[in-house]
């Protein structure tokens, strides 16, 4: 399937916010994040939007793979935005990015802390943020994968969700066009103001709020939103705990016990 990427319109909208911005669409690459990190380490630090119609070695958070091959001919969206970034405080960046993505795409989308995008109990998009320090400068690579059409569940327990369930005409180019400018605006605002002003908006999309959760370190408690730095607040028997880095899952409710007559 030939895709029509409206790279020029994106470039025109984003350039005023990111001087020196370029847009690049590739038919195939190992990973858009890997490529922008390679370039940054080689001293290429211009703001760049790199889109791949296919990734052969897509990467997810926590060292996982990111599979994005669609079942039909219409590809899923995989792209990375690389840019020099100088926020006063980096905490909460990944939440701010997740929030920009859900707000740009659809009101029904939720965020599973820190930044997984979920629809009706299934994951729809993932975000991987990496940074490279080059001298005084820090270059951030913000990689986003959005399922546009249903894709094979591979080894996932729950089959992923797809944007076409909400927006039947969704394509990768349309989703990209919808997301990039709000994403850049959100990053610029984050640089100036940090995560704190976004806390109420995150709350409205917070999938975990009020659910009993289990963290990868074994901590169990009730999710109570996030603090001004984006840490997850968990109410436990030992009091309120702040989780800054852990994998968190909703604790399945115990099966109801059958009572015999």
Please give the residue ranges that form the binding site for ligand BTN (CB under 6 A): 31-33, 55, 58-61, 64, 66, 78-80, 116, 126-128, 143-145
Nearer to ligand BTN, 158 or 236 (CB): 158
Calculated CA dihedral for residues 61, 64, 68, 71, nearest 10 degrees: -140
* Active-site residue, selected from the candidate residues 54, 61, 188, 241: 61
Nearer to ligand BTN, 66 or 90 (CB): 66
Q: In angstroms, give the least distance from the CB of 240 to ligand BTN.
A: 27
Q: In angstroms, give the least distance from the CB of 76 to ligand BTN.
A: 9
Q: In angstroms, give the least distance from the CB of 256 to ligand BTN.
A: 32
Structural tokens at position 207? 């999938």
Residue 242 known to be catalytic:
no
Q: In angstroms, give the least distance from the CB of 7 to ligand BTN.
A: 17
Residue 123 known to be catalytic:
yes
Nearer to ligand BTN, 184 or 221 (CB): 184
CB-based contact 224:233 (threshold 8 Å): yes
* Active-site residue, selected from the candidate residues 138, 188, 241, 251: 251
Nearer to ligand BTN, 61 or 235 (CB): 61
User: DSSP assignment of the chain, as one string?
Assistant: ------HHHHHHHHTTTSTT-EEEEES-BS-HHHHHHHHHHTT--S-EEEEES-BSS-B-GGG-B----BSSSSPPEEEEEEEE---S--TTHHHHHHHHHHHHH-TT-EEETTTEEEETTEEEEEEEEEEEEETTEEEEEEEEEE--S-B--TT-SSPPP-GGGT-TT--HHHHHHHHHHHHHHHHHHHHHH-SGGGHHHHHHHBSSTTSEEEETTS-EEEEEEE-TT-PEEEEETTEEEEESS--EEEPPPPPPPPPP-
* Active-site residue, selected from the candidate residues 123, 188, 224, 241: 123
Nearer to ligand BTN, 125 or 221 (CB): 125
Residue 253 known to be catalytic:
no
Task: Say how far apart CA 149 and CA 71 lie, in whole Å.
Answer: 8
Q: In angstroms, give the least distance from the CB of 178 to ligand BTN.
A: 16
Instruction: Cite the active site residues.
Output: 61, 123, 251
């Amino acid at each position: 399937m030939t895709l029509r990427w409206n790279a020029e319109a994106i470039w025109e909208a984003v350039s005023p916010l990111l001087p020196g911005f370029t847009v690049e669409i590739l038919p195939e690459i190992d990973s858009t994040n890997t490529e922008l990190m390679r370039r940054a380490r080689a001293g290429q630090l211009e703001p760049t939007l790199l889109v791949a119609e296919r990734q052969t070695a897509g990467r997810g958070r926590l060292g996982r793979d990111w599979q994005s091959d669609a079942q039909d001919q219409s590809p899923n969206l995989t792209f990375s935005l690389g840019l020099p970034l100088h926020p006063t405080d980096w905490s909460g960046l990944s939440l701010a990015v997740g929030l920009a993505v859900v707000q740009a795409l659809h009101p029904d989308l939720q965020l599973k802390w820190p930044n997984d995008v979920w629809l009706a109990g299934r994951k729809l998009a993932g975000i991987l943020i990496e940074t490279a320090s080059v001298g005084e400068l820090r270059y951030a690579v913000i990689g986003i994968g959005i399922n546009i059409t249903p894709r094979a569940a591979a080894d996932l327990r729950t089959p992923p969700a797809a944007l076409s369930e909400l927006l039947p005409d969704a394509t990768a180019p349309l989703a990209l066009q919808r997301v990039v400018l709000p994403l850049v605006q959100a990053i610029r605002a984050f640089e100036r103001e940090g995560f704190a002003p976004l806390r109420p908006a995150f709350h409205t999309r917070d999938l975990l709020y009020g659910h009993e959760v289990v963290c990868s370190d074994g901590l169990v408690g009730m999710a109570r939103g996030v603090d001004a730095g984006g840490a997850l607040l968990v109410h436990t028997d030992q009091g309120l705990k702040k989780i800054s880095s852990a994998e968190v899952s909703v604790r399945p409710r115990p099966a109801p016990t059958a009572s015999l007559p």
